[in-house]
Structure 1
């Protein structure tokens, strides 16, 4: 993926419901634009398609990068629970998996601990992780993400409420996206379906939890899966959550001029940025 500047997402307000609405609406707009027969409006459609591509690169990729920063941070924060368990046997198992034949003190957990400070409360741990992500080379961040995947998937976590396979899935999608194994569309499409052990994903920071209706995400995904066309998609999504990126609403208004749908879909949407400044003390 493109170079990413990691940010402290705790300083933002992020509404994932708006991210989701915007993402799937844009996908259908792009599909509509690219599968139209040649008409006298062909040049206008060409410009419209270019604007859809620009919106994806400028807005939807920003959404993905903010969510990636969040996922890597909370996965690192969850890993702080690991050293509380039977550390020696866990470290030996990790050593076998990653092929590092050295003493337990020198293998994966130590390498993670060398990168960030697992001690203190969750917020202090997040600060350490964010600082590491911001100051490290891409290869080091990739290795950090890979070690998180190993730590969650290859270690027997004692308490079902902590770590384990569900967290491994979260760490794995973050690692794959950052290392360029998957594209933005697959990353976001997968992230919306992931949950940690408590059945949530966006509850680990107030920057997300306060502005995101997590229960509504499942309803939005159901609407997206069942919608047969963009009219049905926007109509159903807007009932569940009416927020859409302002740029997406503008693209909906322009799309209607091509006659691809009859309803005034833009009027169903409230133009609301998915990401805004301010968060920590709000």
Structure 2
């Protein structure tokens, strides 16, 4: 393979950024598809995200993945040319230039859905419980609704934030209103076919106060966080009877694949890269 031309430059931008696995993922996608590219990490100053983005594209950069804490700033920067998913999420994780204009999309929900399909789980006609009402939840709401689930309930420690997200979502997607509801985390009732943890609880090693009757027979428990071992949420879900357990590593690769497809108009294979990443985690 020829070396990447200087203008075929991509990056992930964030602060901190040294932990990001995006360079490995996109380099693997490039090898798969025969696309020569250079992909790097960019540490942006907290007070100069805009300047760093402008400098990257002015220097011939082709595309940026955006991670914490800049996803909302990226949305504002590309406000005139946003995908529907990005508009609803109020956050952008993928930037690119087209026609001299900055465009933005949010591929988190696409990545989640592709991973759920990989697990052999169908969302159509299912009851889905989404835990959390922050940026991670916002990024996946519209794709989950578009997957034709029978019911999607947002549950959050602060019921007010859950209701705010509910109100915002139905204002942007009114046809989905009858299938969407919201409430407090401690008021969850009934059994659910799919339970998705979009909170940061697993980062701190803690668990959520969830009823032990939460999971319907054959239910999927999905944590957007990932690690070498099961997250606290997944350990709790196993104890409460969830049948299928998954962490967010597949979502990470899936959202990267969606970004890659936007930039290169080629859909890479997720499975080989996911397997390589999983092996890396186990040996870390």
TM above 0.5: no
Please, what TM-score do these two structures have when normalized by structure 1?
0.27
**Structure 1 or 2: larger strand share?**
2
Relative contact order, higher structure (CA 8 A, sep 6+) = 1
Structure number with larger C-alpha Rg: 1
TM-score by length of 2: 0.27
